[in-house]
Amino acid sequence: MFDIIRKSPANWQVPPNLLDYDALCRSFDWASARRAMAGLPGGGLNIAHEAVSRHVVEGRGGRIALRHLGRDGAVSEVSFAMLDEAASRFANVLESLGVARGEAVFSLSGRLPAFYSAAVGTLKRGAVFCPLFSAFGPEPIRARLEIGRGVCLVTTRMLFQCKVAPILDALPGLRVVLLIDGEAGDERGQVRALPRLMDAAAARYSAAATSPEDHALMHFTSGTTGKPKGAVLVHDAVVAQSATARYALDLHEGDIFWCTADPGWVTGMSYGVIAPLVCGVTSIVDEMEFDAERWYAIIENHKVAVWYTAPTAIRMLMKVGAEVAGKHDLRSLRFLASVGEPLNPEAVVWSQRTFGRPFHDNWWQTETGGIMIANFAALPVKPGSMGRPLPGIEAAIVERTPRGIRVVEQPDVDGELALKAGWPSMFRGYLGEDERYRKCFADGWYLTGDLARRDRDGYYWFVGRSDDVIKTAGHLVGPFEVESALMEHPAVAEAAVIGKPDEVAGNTIKAFVALKAGHEASPALERDLMAHARRRLGPAVAPREIAFRDNLPKTRSGKIMRRLLRARELGLPEGDISTLESDEKK
């Protein structure tokens, strides 16, 4: 249905880092990738050293690490040397406050330079950094600080007053709260003004002599289902995060890079902080939220070369239309990538038409710590496919059996996506939930909980979360396939599909649809959509019902919450909705 998008070397402004996929897969090994790290002067590995101090030691301290675009329109730049110094001061502040190696430092902040110095400074100290979404309400913050045994929280005055002050008494383990914009008058109890402490702290700090297996990061994930779990990553993760950024995001030293992810999501840390710093690129740090006009202006004004965003944002850009993009000079864009949710083929084709380049979908999870499957700059893109495994990553489609798993060798079969355990950024546990962690592995494979299929060319196609898949009249239907077909209709901006129990069919398929600007919900449009879906999918897989909505409920990282749509449809409990965007909460 959608043509393969082939790349022509004649169009490459800069040759991609990965040119010969098969050759690199054969020659690549993690031990060599690890040798590309600087390592600590006295031995050991520390992410902060690789990301920032190394550049200073090697004479690149004057380069710009961050270009911060503030809410007030002010633009400020932070060099690697400035970030290194701020991180050192922060590490000294932690030490002076008694925050020990291995203890957890949480952040609750938007995209502010202080977030970066807190993250890097915490790693320098050898403590564990755990970013939270700043849009969380008090209860999800409390639950995560408690599960993650947070001893220190870095936040702003405003967020503190609204969200943390009410729960402070319930968190006896939280010994100190550092206010990024705090003043002397704010200091009471465990609350401290960070600027004052930073000014008083020494500007040098030698990174803690952490080993590759020491805990470095913790990310809470509830995915689109279930209760939050704290996935732990180690310092060795930097080996995979930097290698994958070079191959799957095609980062070249000196690039202007824009990762739009929220700092509270794993993408905001792995590819918003760590990987771009290690790769020596300049990151755009935009404090504001999505706005199509402003986003295009950022790309134009700051000459963004590599842009990493999510399907929700791409669909919103599609919703406002290509004319808005046409008003800007976007020729600086060299490579576009997307993650977090399936990227509908329609969006890939739209991007090729609008920007002259496709969005390159890639797949990973909090638990994998880095990109595992990707479309690459030099390789053909099959719209709708999430691409091929990264060098060093062995992926497979497997079937669970009573005694373990069976690897499905033949192509084009739906099954669970599994990864051979052992890559450096693989999570090392769910905090306090050993049994839950153990259950993620079988026969040396990590089982992702996602269903996918691999085609004859080795490209992987996302089918659905195993808990979102619908069994209807004997067919297993992945919601993505139905949603993508609906999105091909010119009126549809977004679609989400659920199964509804049915005595005859087991389940019937219901679709929720948000329309593009200029289209009105009507019985005629509903009939037209039904007919379109039947033509594309056949009657067994096409939705039986279609409901129109202004917006679909999404998590803060942009994933459509099908579980919630289903619960609301069937009158079931809504479960954990702490990651739901607030305007969708009822």
Nearer Cβ to ligand AMP, position 85 or 450?
A: 450
d(CA 358, CA 124): 38
C-alpha triplet 316, 544, 525: angle, nearest 5°? 50
Structure token pair of residue 22: 């098969």
31-62 CB burial, b ≥16 within 10 A, e <16: eebbeebeebeeebbbbbbbbbbbbbeeebbe
339 binds ligand AMP (CB under 6 A): yes
Instruction: Compute and round to an integer the Cα radius of gyration of the chain.
Output: 23
Nearer Cβ to ligand AMP, position 4 or 540?
A: 4
221 binds ligand AMP (CB under 6 A): yes
Q: Which stretch binds ligand AMP (CB under 6 A): 64-72, 121-129, 316-324, 362-370?
A: 362-370
Of the candidates 574, 549, 570, 573, the residue with the CA atom closest to the CA atom of residue 561: 574
Sequence-separated contacts (24+) of 178-183 with Cβ below 8 Å: 178/93, 178/118, 178/152, 178/153, 178/154, 179/155, 180/109, 180/112, 180/114, 180/115, 180/118, 180/154, 180/155, 180/156, 181/156, 181/157, 182/157
Nearer Cβ to ligand AMP, position 84 or 483?
A: 483
Nearer Cβ to ligand AMP, position 4 or 23?
A: 4
557 binds ligand AMP (CB under 6 A): yes
Nearer Cβ to ligand AMP, position 308 or 462?
A: 462
Instruction: Map residues 437-456 to x or -, x wherever contact with ligand AMP holds by CB under 6 A.
Output: -----------x-x------
Q: Which of 155, 210, 365, 425 binds ligand AMP (CB under 6 A)?
A: 365
248 binds ligand AMP (CB under 6 A): no
Nearer Cβ to ligand AMP, position 116 or 462?
A: 462
268 binds ligand AMP (CB under 6 A): no
Phi then psi dihedrals of residue 450, to 5 deg: -105, 145
283 binds ligand AMP (CB under 6 A): no
234, β-bridge pairs = 215
Alpha carbon of residue 370 to chain centroid: 9
Which residues from 372-391 bind ligand AMP, rule CB under 6 A? Answer: 386
In the complex, least distance from residue 352 CB atom to ligand AMP, rounded to whole angstroms:
17
251 binds ligand AMP (CB under 6 A): no
Q: Which stretch binds ligand AMP (CB under 6 A): 53-61, 356-364, 486-494, 529-537?
A: 356-364
260 binds ligand AMP (CB under 6 A): no
Q: Which of 16, 212, 342, 392 binds ligand AMP (CB under 6 A)?
A: 342
In the complex, least distance from residue 477 CB atom to ligand AMP, rounded to whole angstroms:
16
514, β-bridge pairs = 494
Which residues from 465-504 bind ligand AMP, rule CB under 6 A? Answer: 465
513, β-bridge pairs = 495, 548
Q: Answer for the pair 411, 456: CB distance below 8 angstroms, yes or no.
A: yes
341 binds ligand AMP (CB under 6 A): yes
In the complex, least distance from residue 385 CB atom to ligand AMP, rounded to whole angstroms:
9
Nearer Cβ to ligand AMP, position 126 or 311?
A: 311
The residues, ordered by sequence, that sit 6+ positions from 27 with a Cβ below 8 Å of its Cβ are: none
By the criterion CB under 6 A, which residues form the site for ligand AMP?
A: 221, 223, 266, 339-342, 361-363, 365-366, 386, 448, 450, 462, 465, 557, 559
